Amino acid sequence: MNSVRNNDFQDLITGRRSIRNYDPSVKISKEEMKEILTEATLAPSSVNLQPWRFLVIDSEEGKATLAPLAKFNQTQVNTSSAVIAVFVDMNSLDYTDRIYNDAVEKGLMPAEVRDRQIPGIKGMLSQVPVQEMREMNLIDAGLVSMQLMLAARHHGYDTNPIGGYEKDQIAEAYGMDKERYYPVMLISIGKAADAGYQSVRLPIDEITKWK
């Protein structure tokens, strides 16, 4: 059965904190996980290329593979319903036609706009150095990751973004091409077993300038 939906935006954002310990008996169905991921992918991305890719690690076998790669984050791996490994696809440009054709077919974009956009995007991005493309993809991946964490809260779950893992080994450990799939972060997700810790934020006046 699906969890209860929380639509209280204030509660979704002020109540979010990194939860590292979960009720291990709680499983998230594939159907519900797909809903969460679908909501996450409503995030914006550069020229709508949606370079994010997800690996949902929710089986015992999958978690056993992950455990030695996330040595300092064992509780999240062991108790969560799933750990979602977020990657970016460095071949995201190959999806341009597919995405823009889909928009035209669905009546969301005039064909002339597509026909102008596709060569512009391909012309520009095929010249961009790999490092710049990676940076662009990582910005998009940050946005989808945040939206994923809020979508999880909408479904009554909590999360922890995790950067402490063997990024150089993660793709290969799951049979993925490490040149193509660049790691972004892990996001553990599940039913919170404790309240986590509240954390501080720098004052807005210190981090903001008005001109």
Ligand X SMILES: Cc1cc2nc3c(=O)[nH]c(=O)nc-3n(C[C@H](O)[C@H](O)[C@H](O)COP(=O)(O)O)c2cc1C
Footprint of ligand X (CB under 6 A): 17-18, 20, 73, 160-164, 185, 196, 199
Q: Choose between 72 and 210: whose C-beta lies nearer to ligand X.
A: 72
CB 158 within 8 A of CB 21: no
- Least distance to ligand X, CB of residue 196, Å: 6
Strands 158-162 vs 82-89: parallel, antiparallel or unpaired: unpaired
In this structure, what token pair is assigned to residue 2? 């699906």
Residue type, 189: I
- Least distance to ligand X, CB of residue 31, Å: 27
- Residue sitting closest to ligand X (CB): 164
- Least distance to ligand X, CB of residue 34, Å: 24
Q: Choose between 62 and 183: whose C-beta lies nearer to ligand X.
A: 183
Q: Choose between 68 and 164: whose C-beta lies nearer to ligand X.
A: 164
Residue type, 146: M
Dihedral of the CA atoms 187, 188, 192, 196 (nearest 10)?
A: -60
Q: Which of 17, 97, 4 is nearest to 49 (CA)?
A: 97
Q: Within 13 Å of residue 117, how many CA atoms lie on the same side as its CB?
A: 19
Q: Choose between 96 and 160: whose C-beta lies nearer to ligand X.
A: 160
- Least distance to ligand X, CB of residue 120, Å: 32
